[in-house]
Structure 1
Amino acid sequence: MLTTISWIALGIGIISSIIIMIDVVRHPQMMTIMNVVWPINGWFFGPFAIWSYFKWGRLKAKDYDGEDNRGRGAKVFMSTSHCSSGCTLGDAAGVPIVMLTGFTLLGTTLFAHYVVQFTLAYIFGILFQFYAIYPMNKKAGVMQNLKNAIKADTLSLIMFEIGMFGWMAIVHFGLFAQPPKPTEATYWFMMQIAMILGFLTSYPANWFLVKKGIKEAM
């Protein structure tokens, strides 16, 4: 039953990503990196990502000439989506690395996943933030914009990983007698849930960063 549910959830996520991707190609975002962010969100948020994209994301398309009526909550949601997508990409990329290398830490693959995935999630997350702010402030130069990206996204990245890693620990030590493997659909369904929880733990951090002026609301 869980395997069937997992395949259904993964299928919905992939279809949601494709739907968003098709529309993004037809209506590119003003901020180029968001053309990548929205389809990635589709993978773990599914239909909710489609709804949020057409409600808020389309307002930032290059060919949209209407009023931007988003409130702060929606803008912080987009900032969190931007952060989460970079983390998601890094976390997903880390899975096959651990699996193919057989890397373990302290006798378990879970801690190996923590190290590899956090490292890649941090790199991708900062790069996503960099490519959000650099086009708007090229005069500051690459290094200054990179420093600004690190300052703006480090806290939210850490909070995302806390939510995600917490769920991974529950899955690894509590939910299954034998944790699912990356070759199984159940593993990736658990990862989808982990991404959603990471988003939820990252949202308050993004709200704080935006409120303090450390990070720009998208």
Structure 2
Amino acid sequence: MDMPMSSAVPDWLTPVAWTYITMSLVCVAFIASDIYLLRRRHLSVATELVWITSALYLGPLAIAAYLRHGRADLTTAANAADSTGEAESTAVAVLPGGGASAVAHLIAVPLVVAVGWTIAGLAMWPMMLLIAVLAVVMLAIYERVASSGQFAGRRRGISIGAAVAAAFITVAAFDVGMVGWMLLLHFNDLMPPVDEGTFWFLMQMGVIVGLSTGYPAVQWLLRRHRTVVVPERAGSTGT
């Protein structure tokens, strides 16, 4: 990421960034181990990946969300899912978009830097573009896969067009926050180089900001009975 000669990023942010990044990786390992080593499998691999990738940006908060919504006793999961309120359902349903964005950052940022791709002299613009495209593709695949089979109680998944439309709407709303955050950092000389931990920490915070702007879109899609699949609890048979 292009950066001016003088940066306004405070020195104290570096240890904070590395602490949070380390905690996030530990949380990723915890959720992955709980699912695959302790065999608390979900009915959809796509949903398992949503819970794992949620820790990439939520850190310890992902553990709390996973224990409450992702891992439930097999005998009580269905009843617990029925009692989940609208706000909680939407909060969980927005996680796939966050995971798609987090993974898209891990792919797009190094790729753009490696090829030296710039628009108007800045690497930030192609990064934003590629992240958005990758996020739409991954989220559409998730919607397509997670809406089919035993998980959603359907004989077949939703159409590709419906999955892409839902993914596009979600990512567009998500990017209001994410892109706004990146622009705010850039124009205030707060965007560190991509090889510094502070950059990735600030991108984690950007994904969380994106969750807040993506929330209303996901809520609208759920209310309109459009395609946004809520990650199921372990052992549940529907959303």
Common topology (TM > 0.5): yes
**Aligned residues of 1:104 and 1:112 also touching (Cα < 8 A):** yes
Partner of 1:20: 31
Aligned counterpart for 1:36 among listed residues 39, 49, 52: 49
1:154 alignment counterpart = 168
For residues 144-172 of structure 1, give each alpha carbon's deviation from its aligned partner in whole angstroms, at most 9, with x where no partner exists.
Answer: 62122123222111111221111111111
- Deviation digits for residues 2-61 of structure 1, max 9, x if unmatched? 1111100101111111111111222111232111011111111111110011011113xx
Amino acid at match of 1:5: V
Displacement of 1:83: 2.2
- Tell me the SS of whatever aligns to 2:219: helix
Shift in Å, 1:212? 1.0
Amino acid in the other structure paired with 1:188: W
Q: In the alignment, what sits opposite 2:137?
A: 123
Q: Is the 8 A contact 1:151 1:214 kept in 2?
A: no
The one-letter code of the counterpart of 2:19 is I
Equivalent residue in structure 2 for 1:10, among 8, 18, 21 = 21
Distance in 1 between residues matched to 2:99 and 2:144, nearest whole Å: 14
Q: 1:110 aligns with which of 115, 118, 124?
A: 124
Identity of aligned residues (%): 24
Match of 1:45 among 35, 41, 58: 58
Aligned to 1:56: 69
- 2:201 is matched with which residue: 189, 195, 202? 189
User: Which whole-Å CA distance do the structure 1 matches of 2:102 and 2:21 have between them?
Assistant: 15
Aligned to 1:86: 100
Quick one: higher RCO (CA 8 Å, sep 6+), 1 or 2?
A: 2
Deviations 1:66-108 (A, max 9, x none): 1223222221122101222122212321111111011100111
Query: Could you tell me how far apart the structure 2 residues matched to 1:113 and 1:217 are?
Result: 27
Looking at secondary structure, tell me which structure has more helix per residue.
1
Confirm whether residue 65 of structure 1 aligns to residue 75 of structure 2: yes
8 Å CA contact 1:31–1:132 kept in 2: the answer is yes
Q: Distance in 2 between matches of 1:215 and 1:129?
A: 7
Q: Residues of 1 paired with 2:17 and 2:124: CA distance?
A: 21
Aligned partner of residue 105 in structure 1, secondary structure: coil
Alignment of 1:205 with 2:217, yes or no, is yes
Compute the RMSD of aligned alpha carbons.
Answer: 1.7
Closer, same or farther: CA 105–214 of 1 in aligned 2, 3 Å: same
Measured in 2, the distance between the counterparts of 1:145 and 1:163 equals 28
Alignment TM-score, normalising by the size of structure 2: 0.82
Q: Distance in 1 between matches of 2:182 and 2:223?
A: 30
Q: What is the count of residue pairs matched by the alignment?
A: 210
The answer on whether the counterparts of 1:56 and 1:74 sit within 8 Å (CA) in structure 2 is no
2-side partners of 1:87 and 1:129: how far apart?
15
- Native 8 Å contact 2:143 2:228 kept in 1: no
